[in-house]
Structure 1
Amino acid sequence: MTRAFMLDTDTVSHAMRGLSNVAGRLVQYGRARVCISSLTLAELRFGASRRKSKRIHALIDAFTSDVDVLAFDAAAAGRFGVVATALADAGNPIGLMDTLIAAHALDQNLTLVTQNTKHFGRVPGLNVVNWE
């Protein structure tokens, strides 16, 4: 079974707090079809470290034991350059981390699962869906 979905940081954060339908979707689609970017993991770790929360770090550990974490590689970096340029040229930047995550999803040909569909909808060619 091939991967189909990359979860954005907001989706993972809500899932870890039990505030979303992600658990049901993981069952529906199968964990093998869902992943997160290493950039999402970095954002989650930053948030947990800022809060000095061992509990949040443990939630992150538990969540990432159930889904693949894809490394941001040279191909994704190349895609980032194209995406960031397109957004800047259109006057529609979405922020560095979100552009990196969008580029990673595009490079892997994955649909990005996010609550920020309007925000990420500015990225040319990116498929986005909200599981809420």
Structure 2
Amino acid sequence: MIYLPDTNAVSNFLRGNNPALTARMHEEFPCLRLSALVVAEREFGILHHRSGLKYRRAFKALVSSVPIEVFSREDASHYAGLRSFLEKRGQGIDPIDTLIAAQALRLGATVVTHNVKEFSRVPGLHVEDWQSP
């Protein structure tokens, strides 16, 4: 099993403000992968919001201990088809979330998110919310 947390799940984990999420992330740690897209989003957030030292250290520790999945050519192809499919049905989702969903589909991964409603629009995508007890 591979778990691919979205940007908000990673951010909430790093803040340590959700006991249910923190416990599950530690429990499933060997199965976690980080999307390079999520890493990029968090890098931007750290620069843009001038995150505190504790948050920056937690982020550095996370990215040094969890495998990072690059966004591949195959992911790009999945993304194009997925975005087209969703938009034709008037069910488009956030572009970064669409990219993460495409990557998760290629990996056969489960997306970890609190935004289940949006990710559930993606056919065949496994989604779990670890932030709700």
Report the Cα distance in structure 1 between the residues aligned to 2:61 and 2:68, rounded to whole angstroms.
Answer: 13
How many corresponding residue pairs? 129
Give the root-mean-square deviation of aligned CA atoms. 1.5
Which aligned runs of 4 or more in structure 1 are off by greater than 3 angstroms? Answer: none
User: TM-score w.r.t. structure 2 length?
Assistant: 0.89
- Matched residue, 2:49: 51
Amino acid at match of 2:122: V
- Where do 5+ consecutive residues of structure 1 fail to align? none
Report the Cα distance in structure 2 between the residues aligned to 1:68 and 1:24, rounded to whole angstroms.
Answer: 19
* More helix per residue: 2
- Matched residue, 1:40: 38
Report the Cα distance in structure 2 between the residues aligned to 1:6 and 1:113, rounded to whole angstroms.
Answer: 6
Report the Cα distance in structure 2 between the residues aligned to 1:100 and 1:28, rounded to whole angstroms.
Answer: 26
- Matched residue, 1:62: 61
Quick one: percent identity of the two aligned structures? 33
Q: CA deviation at 1:71?
A: 0.5
Amino acid at match of 1:102: A
Report the Cα distance in structure 2 between the residues aligned to 1:58 and 1:73, rounded to whole angstroms.
Answer: 28
User: TM-score w.r.t. structure 1 length?
Assistant: 0.89
- Matched residue, 1:78: 77
| 1:102–1:123 contact (8 Å) kept in structure 2 | yes
Q: CA deviation at 1:16?
A: 0.4
> 2:65 aligns to what SS in structure 1?
coil
Amino acid at match of 2:119: F
